[in-house]
Amino acid sequence: MRIQAADIEDVYRELGTSTSGLTEQEAKKRILEFGENTIVHRKKRSVILKLLPQFTHFFAILLWIAAALALVGNYYEPGGGMNILAYTIVGVIFINAFFTFIQEYRAEKAAEALQNLLPHKVTVVRGGMESCVDSKELVPGDVVKLAEGDRISADARMVEQFELRVNNSALTGESKPKKRSSDPYDLDLVDSPNIVFAGTSVTSGAGTAVVFATAMGTEFGKIAHLTQTVEAEPSPLQKETYRVTRIVAKLATGMGILFFIMGTLIGRPFWENFLFAIGIIVANVPEGLLPTVSLSLAMGSQRMAKRNALIKNLNAVETLGCTTVICTDKTGTLTQNQMTVRRIFANGKVVEVKGTGYEPMGEFQDESGAKLDEENLLQLKPLLVNAALCNDSKLTKDGGWSIKGDPTEGALLVAAAKAIEFEKVIRENKRVHMIPFDSNRKRMTTINETADGKVAYVKGALETVLPVCTHVLMNGSVEEMTEPVKVAIQEMNDTFANSALRVLAFAFRQAPEEYTVESVESGLVFMGLMGMIDPPREEVPESIRKCKTAGIRTIMITGDNSVTAVAIAREIGLVESDDPVVLTAEDMKTLSHTELMEKLSAPEIVFARMTPEFKMDIVDALSEKGEIVAMTGDGVNDAPALKRADIGIAMGISGTDVAKESADMILMDDNFASIVNAVEEGRAVFDNIKKFVTYIFASNIPEIIPFIAYVMLGVPLPLTIIQILGIDLGTDMLPALALGTEKPEPGVMQRPPRPPTARLLDKALIMRAYFFLGPIEALAAMGGFFHVLSNGGWVWGTALAAGDTLYRKATTACMTGIVVTQVANGMVCRTARENVSKIGFFTNRLLLAGIVFEIGLQILLVYTSTGQMIFGLSPIPISEWLFLIPFAILLFVAEETRKMIVRRRGA
- Rounded CA-CA distance 445/411 in Å is 18
> What is the rounded average pLDDT of the residues 385-395?
93
CA 875, 876, 877, 879: dihedral to nearest 10 degrees? -160
Which is nearest to 717 in space by CA: 349, 126, 268, 347? 268
How much is the pLDDT for 226? 63
Residue type, 451: A
> What is the rounded average pLDDT of the residues 405-430?
92
Q: Which of 357-361, 370-374, 422-426, 887-891 has the highest mean pLDDT?
A: 887-891
Q: Report whether pLDDT(130) > 80.
A: yes
- Rounded CA-CA distance 118/571 in Å is 36
Average pLDDT of every residue of the chain:
85
Rg (C-alpha) for the chain, rounded Å, is: 36
Residue 629 vs residue 228, higher pLDDT: 629
Q: Which long-range contacts (CB under 8 A, 24 or more apart) does 843-848 make?
A: 843/743, 844/738, 844/739, 844/741, 844/742, 846/734, 846/737, 846/738, 846/741, 847/735, 847/738, 847/739, 847/741
- Rounded CA-CA distance 386/525 in Å is 12
Cα angle for residues 346, 349, 352 (degrees, 5° grid): 85
- Rounded CA-CA distance 632/323 in Å is 12
Asked if residue 610 lies in contact with residue 633, where contact means CB atoms within 8 angstroms, the answer is: no
Tell me the DSSP string of 774-788: HHHHHHHHHHHHHHH
Q: Report whether pLDDT(873) > 60.
A: yes
How much is the pLDDT for 635? 65
Q: Report whether pLDDT(162) > 70.
A: yes
The CA-to-CA distance between both ends of the chain, in Å, stands at 69
> What is the rounded average pLDDT of the residues 850-856?
95
> What is the rounded average pLDDT of the residues 129-142?
89
Q: Report whether pLDDT(118) > 60.
A: no
Q: Report whether pLDDT(789) > 80.
A: yes
Residues 6+ apart with CB under 8 A from 484: none
Q: Report whether pLDDT(656) > 70.
A: no
How much is the pLDDT for 612? 64
Between helix 289-305 and helix 82-101 the angle, nearest 10°, is: 30
Percent of residues, the chain, with pLDDT higher than 70 = 89
pLDDT in tens, 303-343: 787 888 887 766 677 788 889 999 988 877 788 878 899 99
Confidence tier at 228 by pLDDT (50, 70, 90): low
Asked if residue 717 lies in contact with residue 710, where contact means CB atoms within 8 angstroms, the answer is: yes
How much is the pLDDT for 237? 67
Tell me the DSSP string of 487-528: HHHHHHHHHHHHTT-EEEEEEEEE--SS--HHHHSSSEEEEE
> Counting Cβ atoms within 10 Å, is residue 751 exposed (0-12), middle (13-18) or buried (19+)?
exposed
Which is nearest to 232 in space by CA: 641, 552, 725, 581? 641
- Rounded CA-CA distance 653/668 in Å is 6
Q: Report whether pLDDT(529) > 60.
A: yes
Q: Report whether pLDDT(103) > 90.
A: no
* pTM of full prediction above 0.85: no
Asked if residue 531 lies in contact with residue 503, where contact means CB atoms within 8 angstroms, the answer is: yes
- Rounded CA-CA distance 669/309 in Å is 8
pLDDT in tens, 469-515: 999 999 999 999 999 999 999 999 999 988 889 899 999 999 999 99
Catalytic residues: 329
Residue 160 exposure: Cα atoms within 13 Å on the Cβ side: 12
Which is nearest to 719 in space by CA: 835, 626, 808, 607? 808
- Rounded CA-CA distance 98/54 in Å is 8
Which is nearest to 150 in space by CA: 113, 204, 191? 204
- Rounded CA-CA distance 151/156 in Å is 12
Tell me the DSSP string of 214-226: -GGGSHHHHHHHH
